[in-house]
Chains A and B, each alone.
Chain A
Amino acid sequence: MIRKLLKPWASLRLTVVLFALSIILIFAGTLAQVHEGIWTVVDKYFRSVVVSIDLQIFAPQDVVKIPGSIWFPGGLTLGVLMFINLIAAHAVRFKLRKKRIGIILTHLGVILLLVGEFVTGIAAKEGNMTIREGETVNFVEDIRSTEIAVIDQSDPVDDLVVIVPEHFIETGETISHGLMPFTIKVTEWMPNSQMLGPMQAPESRKGIADTGIAKDLAAMPLERANGVDGSTVDAPSAYVTLFHGEQRIGSYLLSVYIDQAQMVVVDGRAYWIELRFARTYKPYSLHLMDFKHDLFTGTQMARNFSSDVRLVDEGRNVDREVHIYMNHPLRHAGETFYQASFLRDDSGTVLQVVQNPGWMIPYISCTVVTLGMLLHFGIRLVPTLGRRSK
């Protein structure tokens, strides 16, 4: 019964079709990165059930205009189908024989690889820790999403912080919350932007904000970072107008470029507001003692970056100094800290923090596949070659 059910799923024809569809999907997903951010593409193409592929990506816009789009199975669908195809093939067609051991191992590895990418897709978290020299930081920032933080510092021990996540900011609706002393109306949301000084800004962008430390600056929307020009991080900005009841407090320019919170006075009390990359607070902290950045003589090309940090995690009784540098990450509490970037003038470091419970799976699966392929082709190919050379 089960065999009968599985049979149509075990076909090699299906395998070939799935390969062909995957090739098209990956090709399209690579071309799409010219116009869209790499993370948008990964979610839209490779981790989706279906994707609508704009035909325009196959030709440059200024040569031919191709309207329309086609629906195509997404990476998740193809991955799951491949998984079923493989399992079914082994259940129906393959028998465990010595000659088959290579193929079976290879396929087992491939199954693991698919599982690994699935686990990474749902469970992996990536973030950044930006630390200036001499500073201590106990949170990780997600540079792919932002939040508005409204901070009340009146309590001498703990700050009261209200967080507005990005999906509320995007809608443009008025945002209010019982703990927030004012309401926020987002007048313009820029997923990626550049910051211009008072002399650089065009007339049309001047004076949108009338309050706060950034009122003389202007933000201009930019296309989202697309991974192929080298810029992979979006720098969002927003113009917001704050109201206390019916009364307008003022318009502010909020941006991740502005690395301090701006003061808002309501009824004589000071609150602070900022747009920042979404934070996750951690039970440990890193203190940056020293950041080093060496260049090759006479060039601007980096020879080496490294960070000397002090890791403190009271819950785990950890207090030690660590040297993090290229290809030599720190692993702590299920997370890995990589030397990723640095701040202007070498004043601080940017560490990439990755939490991926599935990080070992690709290693295992690749070893298994490689072993399997070598066995398979070794068993099959060597005799043929031997025969021919006689």
Chain B
Amino acid sequence: MKKLQQLLPWIVLVLGIVYAGQKIARPDKIDSKFDLNSFRQIPVSASGRTKPLDTVARNSLMNISGRQSIRTDDGKVSAIEWYIELITNPEESVQREVFRIDHPDVLALIGLDKEKRTRFSFSELLDSGNEINRQAMLASQVKAKARDPFQNAVLVLNQRMMLYSELSQLVNPYLVPPLTTGEDWRSFVTVLNESPNDPDARALLGMLQAYRAGDVEEFNSQLAAFKALVDSQITYDARKSRYEVIFNQAQPFIMASALLVVAFLFGCFGLLLAQLTKPEWSKSMFGSMTASIVVALVVMTIGIASRVYLQGRPPITNLYSSAVFIGWFSVIIGLIIDRQMKIGLGGIMASVIGFGTLIVAHNLGSSGDTMEMMQAVLDSNFWLATHVVVVTIGYSATFFGGFLAIAYVLLGVFTKVLDRERGKSMIKMIYGVICFATVTSFVGTVLGGIWADQSWGRFWGWDAKENGAALIVLWNLLILHARWGGMIRDRGLVNLSIFGNIITAWSWFGTNMLGVGLHSYGFTNSAVFWISIFVLSQLVLMSIGMLPVKIWRSKFAKPAVQPATK
């Protein structure tokens, strides 16, 4: 029996590695006689980036329907199958229910408000096409921040219909590669009009016609010929294209989220068993939790490294990647703390923050390519790259300190886990994390200033994002100085750290929302809604933290009075 307790963490580790490994090393193949596995690797150019068709198909379907595949009564249709059907057999494809529409007034506009579905086909929308277009034109004349939810919804729908049309008419993405290095990518339609005998275009046309006719052999041989042509023509690395398809297929961040949920469950069991005074099993559960987190961390690291490789850019390029990075770094801090303090808290924190930020990232990335190109000014600068990485680490650390503080409050008020020793060691942890957060957020902010000075000669411009970063630095400094001055003790430190979460959330997201929604934030914008919920929850936690120590379930021998750590 004892053996099992000791072995369990190792079993979890091996299972995790096998699970993750087989997903990455042996990606799902598409089950089709047509060689779609190779078709989806064809490099194309969309939104300024060369990428495999698979990415375009997935991102477009994600944008239109909110999913990366279509669920039908006969099973799943993958994005690439949907795409090739769209361009070779539009008559069939327009019947697919892919357009996600939620807003009741938009549904009423199209006359579909009686339906119980949330996804509709292009042919269902077509009759109301002119009306949708007219409404979108009206809405587009209103300033972005003054639009109401209906106007936003109708604009989104119109944009999706335009994307759909561009895809089906082969205008977007650019399928025809440059013949020489000096030339640019061109759309299939343009090439067929301008030079009908272009070999690439002929090969593509033959391929698509063969697919439409259901001629497997012809399709596969045309495809092989086309790929050979493309490979010989462009300097683009074909390996990258293959790699990106594997990356798309493996979805490392979703895999990591799943692993973190498993870790969280192990952690909860561990805490429960500790309460039931079964230390052996509790330890075993914590060990299994750590094992799952380690696998999740490896998977996330591979994911981030893959993005760096595919983009040839530093790991943080947009809000999406900042969320992923914060999750990744929080998991690392969590693991370190887990090693220091063996009551499972670091791991539970790691899984909660890691999972939370990956969910945030998933929602941020749902509108299109998360590896979009960047404006020239944001491109290739050492200071910018180091700035975003360091400042994001600062954000992660501030969040982590805040979440540790929440754990302190919850455990202290509702459980008996926190004895004097543990309470003290948690306080030290929180203090240490805040010191670290102060240094990194300060250095990160400063690096941003240096970049700004190099780019437009203004070290500090008082703009919203800069101010957000400054607020985090100042808040951390306030906590530290208040502690040094003996103005706050343990619980003060804890409550101020929880408030740090609000400041960080505001700096990270709130400042981005100022432009779009301050006027219309009557709980219409879902991000604003979630931020408000978050702020409220933190305030509730702070008020719990302020309950008199008498009614805390954890009894500290004495409310640990520490002399100012000056």
Q: Is the pairing of A and B real?
A: yes
Q: Could you pull out 29 A-B pairs where Cβ atoms are within 8 angstroms? A: A12-B481, A27-B471, A34-B514, A38-B463, A46-B462, A60-B518, A60-B519, A63-B522, A117-B460, A126-B458, A228-B464, A228-B514, A229-B144, A296-B48, A297-B184, A297-B185, A298-B46, A298-B185, A302-B376, A303-B48, A327-B381, A336-B457, A352-B456, A354-B456, A370-B443, A377-B439, A384-B428, A384-B432, A385-B340
Q: A33-B464, A326-B379 are in contact. List 10 more A-B contacts (CB 8 A).
A: A13-B485, A23-B471, A38-B462, A62-B522, A116-B459, A120-B460, A298-B45, A301-B47, A366-B446, A373-B438
A295–B48 Cα distance when bound, in Å, is 8
Given known A-B contacts A12-B487, A20-B478, A38-B463, A230 and B515 have beta carbons under 8 A apart: yes
Closest to A358 in B: B459
Q: Are B457 and A326 in contact (CB under 8 A)?
A: no
Q: Are A16 and B184 in contact (CB under 8 A)?
A: no
**Nearest Cβ distance between residue A340 and chain B, in whole angstroms?**
6
Q: Are A354 and B172 in contact (CB under 8 A)?
A: no
Whether, in the assembled complex, A212 has its beta carbon less than 8 Å from a beta carbon of chain B, the answer is: no
**Chain B residues within an 8 Å CB radius of A304:** 376, 379
Closest to A388 in B: B340
Q: Are A297 and B442 in contact (CB under 8 A)?
A: no
**Chain A residues within an 8 Å CB radius of B143:** 229
**Chain B residues within an 8 Å CB radius of A29:** 462, 467
State which of A26, A60, A305 has its C-beta within 8 Å of the C-beta of B470: A26
**Chain B residues within an 8 Å CB radius of A46:** 462
Q: Are A19 and B481 in contact (CB under 8 A)?
A: yes
Closest to A30 in B: B467
**Nearest Cβ distance between residue B441 and chain A, in whole angstroms?**
11
Q: Are B453 and A359 in contact (CB under 8 A)?
A: yes
Q: Which 9 A-B pairs have the closest CB atoms?
A: A296-B48, A12-B485, A354-B457, A19-B478, A366-B446, A228-B515, A302-B376, A30-B467, A299-B48
Q: Are A362 and B459 in contact (CB under 8 A)?
A: yes
Closest to A19 in B: B478
Q: Are A363 and B442 in contact (CB under 8 A)?
A: no
Q: Are B522 and A301 in contact (CB under 8 A)?
A: no
**Chain A residues within an 8 Å CB radius of B471:** 23, 26-27
**Chain B residues within an 8 Å CB radius of A298:** 45-48, 172-174, 185, 187
Whether, in the assembled complex, A227 has its beta carbon less than 8 Å from a beta carbon of chain B, the answer is: yes
Whether, in the assembled complex, B543 has its beta carbon less than 8 Å from a beta carbon of chain A, the answer is: no
**Chain A residues within an 8 Å CB radius of B443:** 366, 370, 373
Q: Are A388 and B428 in contact (CB under 8 A)?
A: yes
**Chain A residues within an 8 Å CB radius of B49:** 296
Given known A-B contacts A374-B439, A385-B432, A326 and B340 have beta carbons under 8 A apart: no
A304–B379 Cα distance when bound, in Å, is 9
Q: Are A60 and B487 in contact (CB under 8 A)?
A: no
CB within 8 Å: A-B pair count: 178
Chain A proximity mask over B509-549: 1 for CB below 8 Å, otherwise 0: 00100110011111000000000000000000000000000
Secondary structure at the B interface, as helix, strand, loop or mixed, is helix
A200–B312 Cα distance when bound, in Å, is 47
Q: Are B515 and A229 in contact (CB under 8 A)?
A: yes
**Nearest Cβ distance between residue B177 and chain A, in whole angstroms?**
11
Whether, in the assembled complex, B255 has its beta carbon less than 8 Å from a beta carbon of chain A, the answer is: no
User: How many interface residues does A have (CB within 8 Å)?
Assistant: 65
Q: Are A369 and B375 in contact (CB under 8 A)?
A: no
Q: Are A30 and B439 in contact (CB under 8 A)?
A: no
**Nearest Cβ distance between residue A229 and chain B, in whole angstroms?**
6
State which of A16, A22, A303 has its C-beta within 8 Å of the C-beta of B482: A16
Q: Are B514 and A30 in contact (CB under 8 A)?
A: yes
Q: Which of B436, B460, B521: most chain A Cβ within 10 A?
A: B460
Given known A-B contacts A26-B470, A26-B474, A373-B439, A296 and B453 have beta carbons under 8 A apart: no
**Chain B residues within an 8 Å CB radius of A48:** none
A126–B452 Cα distance when bound, in Å, is 14
**Nearest Cβ distance between residue B225 and chain A, in whole angstroms?**
24
Whether, in the assembled complex, A338 has its beta carbon less than 8 Å from a beta carbon of chain B, the answer is: yes
Chain B proximity mask over A367-390: 1 for CB below 8 Å, otherwise 0: 001100110010001001100110
Q: Are B455 and A338 in contact (CB under 8 A)?
A: yes
Q: Are B340 and A389 in contact (CB under 8 A)?
A: yes
**Chain A residues within an 8 Å CB radius of B511:** 30
**Chain A residues within an 8 Å CB radius of B45:** 297-298
**Chain A residues within an 8 Å CB radius of B485:** 11-13, 15-16
Chain A residues 307 to 353 lying within 8 A of chain B, measured CB to CB, are: 326-327, 329, 336, 338, 340, 352
Whether, in the assembled complex, B36 has its beta carbon less than 8 Å from a beta carbon of chain A, the answer is: no
A178–B49 Cα distance when bound, in Å, is 62
**Nearest Cβ distance between residue B424 and chain A, in whole angstroms?**
10
**Chain B residues within an 8 Å CB radius of A369:** 442, 446
**Nearest Cβ distance between residue B236 and chain A, in whole angstroms?**
12
Whether, in the assembled complex, B228 has its beta carbon less than 8 Å from a beta carbon of chain A, the answer is: no
**Chain A residues within an 8 Å CB radius of B373:** 296, 299, 301, 303
**Chain B residues within an 8 Å CB radius of A366:** 443, 446, 449-450
Q: Are A23 and B450 in contact (CB under 8 A)?
A: no
A297–B175 Cα distance when bound, in Å, is 12
Given known A-B contacts A20-B478, A26-B474, A326-B379, A61 and B519 have beta carbons under 8 A apart: yes
Q: Are B449 and A362 in contact (CB under 8 A)?
A: yes
A228–B183 Cα distance when bound, in Å, is 38
Given known A-B contacts A298-B174, A303-B376, A41 and B462 have beta carbons under 8 A apart: yes
